[in-house]
Amino acid sequence: MTPSRFRFLPLYAGLALTAACGQHVVRAEPSAEPQPEAAAEPVAAARPAAALPAQPLTPDILYQFLLAEIAGQRGEIGLSKSLYLDLARETRDPRLARRAAEIAVFARDEAGALEAARLWAESDPASERAQQTLIALLLNGGRIDEAEPLLKRFLARDPAAGFMHLPALLGKTRDTRASLQLVERLAAEYPTLAEAQLAVAQAAVAAGRVEEALAALARADALKPGWESAAVYRAQLLARSSRTDALAFLREFVERYPKASEARLAYARMLVNANQVSEARDQFTRLTRDFPGNADVSLAAGLLSLQMGDAKAAEQFLQQALEYGHKDADTVRFYLGQAAEEQKRFEDAANHYRQVAGGEYLVQARARLAAMLARDGKLDEARALLRQTVAENPSQQIRLIQAEAELLREARDYAGAFEVLSAGVARFPDTPDLLYDRAMMAEKLGKLDVMEADLRRVIELRPDDAHAYNALGYTLADRTSRLDEALTLLEKALELAPDDAFILDSVGWAHYRKGNLARAQEFLERAYAIRRDPEIAAHLGEVLWMRGKREEAGALWQSSLKDNPQNEVLLDTVRRLQH
């Protein structure tokens, strides 16, 4: 097994363009679920002193507060959460309750998060963030009856904005049908509000009721003709069954409403995804012409140009975004670094990455810069760069650990990567991504007991993680005689991701190891039709060889070797069977 067959990607892979340039999401405020990233603000700045409880800062409280902070910095999240929750109970201070809620969410302690959120909302009833957090946690826990009266009060403050925010509050609710019924009840009290109908449509889609969603969108259009958010969401929905229909709808919409910049951006994105590059460029040109000086438009055009592979045009648009004063200069500089890197101007790329001072792309920028240093033979300097980077929250600390391990993996220092990841797991226990990555390194080192234990823990923590089932199932099939157990795991992975080429390949390999050659060939051919990967070619060729189809196997291997002359699995297979 090699890392390439499983989900083991550099932190900076994928350019983050899927998130930045993917299908449009209807605008809403940030999720009300407390995030660790939001915890960076000083506790003392939460609200005016006059509104705070008359709680003296005793030596015991100060000691417990400092201990909680130090525990969090050292990765002892459980201890930090418990200390903060005790402080919140004792002081009824909303600042401490908020911090306790944020850390409990990060620690996946639903009960602790809910208790802290209640304390926060009770101690600061005027805080909209506190009320939203409590609502989100109640909904996530399936307590719809408790959440409904709070939601009604929340919506009464600003119905239009409230309904636009509602999907974020409902985002992790498990009972999608009950969520739909809740939204329908809430929307019934606002029959003339288009935003309410959009919320109904989104809840209907989550519940798998597309026709009901389209009907709600039609009502939204009747209430608010030309509303871009509803139109873009309708296009997304149409694209699920027919990209052609979605493109036709958006084309007609922007012709009818030529100043609809949001819809035109969505149209341009969809054209890029449909590989209609010329038409997409026309839309970019029109956007920049119709909205001169608009930093958001320039950034979007730059990101889409990157996605189209036109790094030079992307650089021009991104420079414009900086000149127009884009509010998130760090994001723009990160993508400028990518544009320069793709044009092989590595010094310029490094300068852009160094200028990313914080925010969402801090770690990605440092990881890219470190990777460039490592490629130049400066591995120690690259590791030092990552270790000197000051993370803004626990999530970034975890990503920095992964980035350092990735450098060592690329250098084939699997023992070093395993050591870094093990230290990370000690700091942040039960973190699925760290456990998964360590499992991959454990397999490389022959530590199959560690690999299995880590992957089984990942499955416990994330029961819908198809990659974990696949990695464990493939390893058992390839390296042990536990073939029935392997197939059970792989069938679960396939159930979760039925069109994943590597999972299909793993199932085929397991059948091959069991001697089911015809069944193996069936799965491997399906996998190779989806993705012409050299390892899949190696496996399919081996099955063909063993079935007596040696000319067909040889032709397949030679074809794959032309594009992948250094692939170890493919080369080893050919040497083993042909010599």
3-state secondary structure of 5: helix
Question: What is the predicted pLDDT for the residue at 51?
Answer: 58
Question: What is the predicted pLDDT for the residue at 39?
Answer: 35
Sign of CA dihedral 468, 470, 474, 480: positive
Question: What is the predicted pLDDT for the residue at 145?
Answer: 86
**311: alpha, beta or left, given left = phi > 0 and alpha = psi -120 to 50?**
alpha
Q: Which parts of the chain sit beneath pLDDT 50?
A: 1-4, 7-50
Sign of CA dihedral 322, 325, 326, 329: positive
d(CA 472, CA 359): 35
d(CA 297, CA 300): 5
Q: At a CB cut-off of 8 Å and minimum separation 6, what does 133 contact?
A: 32, 33, 34, 98, 101, 117, 120, 121
DSSP tag of 191: T
Neighbours of 161 (CB within 10 A): 14
List Cα–Cα distances, 241 to 205, 229, 276, 399, 567, in angstroms. 13, 20, 19, 36, 37
- Do residues 420 and 403 lie in contact, with contact meaning Cβ atoms separated by under 8 Å? no
d(CA 473, CA 510): 8
DSSP tag of 358: S
Best CA proximity match to 301, nearest among 288, 290, 292: 288
Question: What is the predicted pLDDT for the residue at 54?
Answer: 61
List Cα–Cα distances, 323 to 296, 298, 299, 316, 546, in angstroms. 12, 10, 11, 11, 63
- Domain architecture of the chain: domains with CATH: 31-140 (1.25.40), 464-579 (1.25.40.10)
- Do residues 417 and 441 lie in contact, with contact meaning Cβ atoms separated by under 8 Å? yes
d(CA 368, CA 372): 6
Q: At a CB cut-off of 8 Å and minimum separation 6, what does 351 contact?
A: 337
Question: What is the predicted pLDDT for the residue at 6?
Answer: 53
> What's the pLDDT tens digit per position in 266-277?
998 898 888 888
- Do residues 53 and 83 lie in contact, with contact meaning Cβ atoms separated by under 8 Å? no
Radius of gyration of the chain (CA): 26
Whether pTM > 0.85 for this model: the answer is: no
d(CA 486, CA 161): 50
Question: What is the predicted pLDDT for the residue at 333?
Answer: 97
List Cα–Cα distances, 118 to 100, 458, 563, in angstroms. 11, 30, 59
Residue with tokens 């229909």: 245
- Do residues 361 and 16 lie in contact, with contact meaning Cβ atoms separated by under 8 Å? yes
Count of alpha carbons within 13 angstroms of residue 134, beta-carbon side = 26
List b or e across 234-247, with b for residues whose CB sees 16 or more CB atoms inside 10 angstroms.
bbbbbbeeeeeebb
